[in-house]
Amino acid sequence: MKVVVTGGAGYVGSHALAELKSAGHEPVVFDDLSEGHAEATGESGLVRVDLADEARVFKALCESRAEAVMHFAASASVGESVEEPQKYYFNNVVNTLRLLRAMRSAGIERFVFSSSCTVYGIPQRTPITEDFPLAPMSPYGRTKAAVEGILEDYASAYGLRYASLRYFNAAGAMPDGSLGEDHEPETHLIPLVIRAALGLRERISIYGTDYPTPDGTCIRDYIHVLDIARAHVLALEALADRQSMTYNLGIGQGHSVKEVIEEARRVTGRDIPVEEGPRRPGDPPALVSSPQKIKAELGWEARLASLRQIIETAWRWHSTHPQGFASKG
Ligand code: UDP
């Protein structure tokens, strides 16, 4: 199937291209390269387009002859969203609406959406199931929840078929070391820990050691980016005969910040200096998914499920590409 992949030059999007191709699909990337990297798209066709330009998006959708859209393009930093909510509402909500309108005009009815576990805010307990109330605490989380609502309305009024995939902590890289994470600025734990192991930063700060968790540091559910990518392909294929679906995408197992650093020490064999700092505002103590729904309904199962595999693949990428991709944004 021909599939348009917005944000295909970005971290999760570029790994999805590889999974789409190995499942026999033909992805076409729409990306403005404001944050992505052209070489991450490999041999896939790349249309350099800003999603704000609806007329061009409509034309490119028609030319692509795609039957579905996977929508990764978004601004994705919780901290920045607090400083610049306008950017987030325009990029993530307004541009998604423009994309959906262009898709309607082009007669494309299948949509796979990158949502986020941030829609749950601080959950009352873990593991988190999809029926937990949505209570996002940041503009970023609110943009994801808003789009989920829009998709529901489009499905009932216009027959859109959609899958919303609520990612927990995406991490890891292509096992052959050819693709990986390259954000500027980088804010995520695993790449920062690896940068400290490589000596590219002095140390890693642990944001809070007084959480109500066994070792006092925050617990997250780290999921390999290729397992996320494969879930997108399964969801896309399931949309052939399903109306809509919303799934958590996590492993169902949590790891603390200290556990991540320890595992990174074992994998890299390097010293990783740490400092214990204050909490980062807005961080929930523990976010762990229940992946039962997607397992039961789509047969999805994580293949690179251990923290070790996640860190090993990330290490391979970062140690062979210490400066990331050659092209920047
Ligand atoms: N974290 C940390 N030091 C850092 C970056 C992150 O202690 O330099 C912690 C953060 O507080 C959170 C976990 O690592 O508990 C994962 O953070 P990340 O930003 O990777 O993902 P998030 O869970 O915020 O989406």
pLDDT by 10-residue block (mean), the chain, 329 residues? 98 98 98 96 94 98 98 95 97 98 98 98 95 96 98 98 98 96 93 97 97 98 98 98 95 98 98 96 93 98 97 97 82
Per-residue pLDDT, 281: 86
Q: Is 108 helix (H, G, I), strand (E, B) or coil?
A: coil
Considering 11, 120, 140, 167, which one is annotated as catalytic? 140
Residue 223, SS3 per DSSP: strand
**How many CA within 13 A on the CB side of residue 213?**
23
Atom of ligand 1 nearest to the CA of 188: 20
Tell me which residue has tokens 């029926």.
131
Q: Is 280 in the pocket of ligand 1 (CB under 6 A)?
A: yes
For residue 205, report the distance from its CA to the centre of ligand 1, in Å: 10
**Cβ(205) to ligand 1 under 6 A?**
yes
Ordered by where they begin, the domains of the chain are 2-170+223-249 (3.40.50.720), 189-220+252-320 (3.90.25.10)
Distance CA 289, CA 127 (A): 5
How far, in Å, is the centroid of ligand 1 from the Cα of 235? 28
CA angle 258, 260, 261 (to 5 degrees): 65
For residue 11, indicate whether it is catalytic: no
192 lines ligand 1 (CB under 6 A): yes
Q: Would you state the pLDDT for residue 52?
A: 98
Strand partners, 289: 128
Measuring from atom 6 of ligand 1, which residue has the nearest CA?
189
Name the pTM for this structure.
0.97
Q: Return d(Cα 247, Cα 90) in angstroms, integer.
A: 25
Q: Which residues, at least 6 apart from 194, have a Cβ–Cβ distance to it below 8 Å?
A: 264, 268, 311, 314, 315, 318, 319
Q: What pLDDT, on a 0 to 100 scale, did the predictor assign at position 328?
A: 61
Pocket test for ligand 1, best of 115, 200, 217, 220 (most atoms within 8 A of CB): 220
Q: Is the CB of 258 under 6 A from ligand 1?
A: no
List Cβ neighbours of 122 (8 Å cut-off, separation of 6 or more).
Answer: 135, 137, 284, 285
Task: Give the C-alpha separation, 171 to 158, whole Å.
Answer: 35
| Rounded-to-integer distance, Cα 90 and Cα 86, Å | 6
Spatial distance between the Cα atoms of 320 and 37, rounded to a whole number of angstroms: 17
Q: Say if residues 310 and 172 touch (Cβ distance below 8 Å).
A: yes
Centre of ligand 1 to C-alpha 283, Å, is: 8
Alpha helices in the chain (DSSP H): 11-22, 54-64, 78-83, 85-88, 95-106, 139-158, 189-197, 225-238, 257-268, 292-298, 307-320
How many residues are recorded in the chain? 329
Question: Phi and psi of 204, rounded to 5°?
Answer: -110, 135
Whole-number Å distance between alpha carbons of 116 and 132: 13
Asked if 139 contacts 88 with a C-beta cutoff of 8 angstroms, the reply is: yes
| 140 and 147 Cβ atoms separated by less than 8 Å | no
Which residue, 83, 101, 81, 79, is CA-closest to 91? Answer: 81
